[in-house]
Amino acid sequence: MHPLDKLFNTRQKEILNIYFTAGYPNPESTGDILRLLEQHGADIVEVGLPFSDPLADGPVIQHSSMVALQQGITIDKILEQLSQVNISIPIVLMGYLNPVLQYGFERFLRNAARAGASAVILPDLPAEVFRAKYQAMYETYGLYPVFLVSPQTSDERIRMLDSLSRGFLYAVSTSSTTGKDKQFGDFEAAWFRRLNGLKLNNPVLAGFGISDNRSLRFVFDHLPGAVVGSALIRHLDASKSDYGIPSFMKHLLNPES
Amino acid sequence: MNSNYQPDEQGFYGDFGGAFIPEMLYPNVEELRQNYLHILGSDEFKTEFHRLLADYVGRPTPLYLAPNLSERYKTNVWLKREDLAHTGAHKINNTVGQVLLARKLGKKRIIAETGAGQHGVATATVCALMNMECIVFMGETDMQRQAPNVARMQMLGAEVRPAKSGSRTLKDATNEAIRYWINHPDDTHYIIGSVVGPHPYPDLVARLQSVISSEISSQLLSHTGRSKPDAVIACVGGGSNAAGAFYHFIESPEVQLIGAEAAGMGVDSGLTAASLHTGSRGIIHGSMTMLMQDEQGQITEPHSISAGLDYPGIGPMHAHLFSSGRATYLAITDHEALQAAFLLSRLEGIIPALETAHALAVLGKVSFGENQLVVINLSGRGDKDLSTYMQKADSYASVR
């Protein structure tokens, strides 16, 4: 069974997906960070493929991408590191289309699947282009495509993007770039209720702006799961062998700590 | 117009174009896509647009037969004087049109990116006129080398926000503007300054700038009895002035179209902005086009002495004109551009923008016949570049 199906078949709530940028804080850290995230409570890990011009991301992820690229990280190196790590939680690759196109789209999917990835998120891949050119390719290699929706996305389009997605649908909490810490309130509650009301095929995970236990709990109260990214990257500490991950995850998951 | 050179429904010019954008931008871009042709075609828009172009911008700009350049190059060199448009460059045509469009869409705030500052000044100007809030993103490096234009934007009431990432030039300013738009989707219109970005921007900007080729055609007819020149030459960063100067001649294969891109220190020097000569197919700022990138698909930093051409990509329409062979693109170095700028200043009494100087340098590289009509789009004036020119004045003192 596909690892994401296996996860969502056994759990329907409080799914925690943690994003980090591959090659940051140092070129060889990817495997260690994956193991630490699994040990400390992540249900899914989202591995960011660094890009020079990450349009949907804020300064934190942009900076981590720049550092990773300056340190010589490449798609091949990332996939090599993934293939050597032994974790059982699903790995989702998140990147931008241009580096994938230069690598070769089919070659990327084939090698990503071989390296153990379960799904791919490419925020700037248009749904129409995906359907026409790449959907069958994803199926060939058993990789799940995950699309993003935002509060500005119409119901009709949410349904369309849900029908193209497999594993889960990624809901941006508000229209924003990543890394804007925010207080979740009525707007987000209404948006999450709207998503629930659509009775979508896929479980919905919300991301962007979730930085602490309070915001995480808010999302968990409304949706099956959440994605946390910039907040972790801000805490990754190259000087410690555990990158500060145990304490970050403890604070994220426990209200009293 | 039925043509091989107009974009299809998805905004593709052949293999180039499209809208490769994150979902957070989709509603904004889709709103524009669904409305722009209807609004641009409405009588109300056309009347207001042309009234402002005539009375506020000062159109039509002259088409001037440059006698001394013509004698020097043994042909007939006509200069389309976009430098005489209000704010000193062709950029104002686009901003007048897009601010009118934004008002029709009910937007309250305008954002823009700028390299040389000409698009930022043009945007700030029209926002002042129409009482719209205006934020202009500009690379920190460009803010230093184009300080007069920063001051102008601020005097016009715009907020200029420095882009501090990457090479701190036009690419980074564009990234910041797009991010701002993602974070303010409802009340903000993003005026892209060139024929770049996701569909429908390349087509929208080309249509608004097509007033240039329309005027060239009618002015040439009244001056010479011919409505079509033998050649049209324009500089290309993103490519908006070239798109405007080429527009009505694209379907006439007898008109030679020549673009001048910035070679910087030379196409093989590693310090260049010549995206067609050194680039390959890829995606930048929402569009499939030719761009400078490494083997990993990471976008590389461009270099040009002119801030307005210092961009690693090019509009998809130009990528298509290039790959189909319809237009020729020459790479002009910083040195060649400076030489051409000093030459025009001394021969014709016109100080061109550094960007425009790249187009003028084509005259030294391509020979035209004695009876031919060659139109150069003089896209902007050089006041903003005076400090660069003064730094180089000694080296070019002998240019005559």
Q: Tell me the chain A residues in contact with residue B179 when contact means C-beta distances shorter than 8 Å.
A: 55, 58, 177
Cα nearest neighbour of B174 on chain A: A55
Q: Identify the residue with better confidence: B122 or B165.
A: B122
Mean pLDDT in residue range B201-224: 98
Burial B361-372 (b: 16+ CB within 10 A, else e): bbbeeeebeeee
Whether the per-residue pLDDT at A201 is higher than 90: the answer is yes
B379 classed as catalytic = yes
Q: Tell me the chain B residues in contact with residue A123 when contact means C-beta distances shorter than 8 Å.
A: 22-23
Mean pLDDT in residue range B48-54: 98
B56 touching A, CB under 8 A? no
pLDDT value for B185:
87
Confidence band (pLDDT; 50, 70, 90) for B149?
very high
Q: Tell me the chain B residues in contact with residue A52 when contact means C-beta distances shorter than 8 Å.
A: 166, 298-300
**Residue where the block lists tokens 């700038």:** B209
Contact B79/B376 with Cβ under 8 angstroms?
yes
**Pairing of β B63-65 and β B76-81:** antiparallel
Q: Tell me the percentage of chain B whose pLDDT exceeds 90.
A: 93
> Residue A179 has which token pair?
């890394």
Kindly report the average pLDDT of chain B as a whole number.
96
In the chain, the amino acid numbered A256 is E
Q: Rounded to an integer, what distance in angstroms lies between the CA atom of residue B377 and that of residue B244? A: 9
B178 touching A, CB under 8 A? yes
Mean pLDDT in residue range A201-210: 96
CA distance A225 to chain B (A): 20
Cα nearest neighbour of A102 on chain B: B297
Phi and psi torsions of B99, nearest 5°: -70, -40
Region for B30 from its dihedrals, namely left if φ exceeds 0, alpha if ψ lies in -120 to 50, beta otherwise: alpha
Q: Taking CB atoms and an 8 Å limit, are A56 and B27 in contact across chains?
A: no
Q: Taking CB atoms and an 8 Å limit, are A148 and B297 in contact across chains?
A: no
Contact B179/B149 with Cβ under 8 angstroms?
no
- Note the pLDDT tens digit of each residue in B242-264: 999 999 999 999 999 999 999 99
Confidence band (pLDDT; 50, 70, 90) for A30?
very high
Mutation site, B296, B300, B301, B311, interface A, largest A CB count within 10 A = B296
Catalytic residue, from B91, B107, B171, B384: name it: B91
Nearest to B282 among A59, A101, A129 (CB): A101
B228 classed as catalytic = no
Nearest to B298 among A69, A147, A150 (CB): A69
Mean pLDDT in residue range B28-49: 97
Nearest to B295 among A102, A123, A152 (CB): A102
Confidence band (pLDDT; 50, 70, 90) for A207?
very high
- Note the pLDDT tens digit of each residue in A116-154: 999 999 999 999 999 999 999 999 999 999 999 999 999
Nearest to A101 among B26, B183, B297 (CB): B297
Q: Based on C-alpha coordinates, what's the Rg of chain A? A: 17
Confidence band (pLDDT; 50, 70, 90) for B2?
very low
B286 touching A, CB under 8 A? yes
Q: Tell me the chain A residues in contact with residue B295 when contact means C-beta distances shorter than 8 Å.
A: 102
* Residue A135 burial (C-beta neighbours within 10 Å; 0-12, 13-18, 19+): middle
Confidence band (pLDDT; 50, 70, 90) for A257?
low
> Residue B107 has which token pair?
């937007």
pLDDT value for B1:
43
Nearest to B137 by CA among B184, B104, B101: B184
A57 classed as catalytic = yes
CA distance B297 to chain A (A): 4
**Pairing of β A169-172 and β A148-149:** parallel
pTM score, whole prediction = 0.96
pLDDT value for B169:
87
Mean pLDDT in residue range A174-185: 81
Q: Taking CB atoms and an 8 Å limit, are B171 and A53 in contact across chains?
A: yes
**Residues pairing with A135 in the sheet:** none
Whether the per-residue pLDDT at A34 is higher than 70: the answer is yes
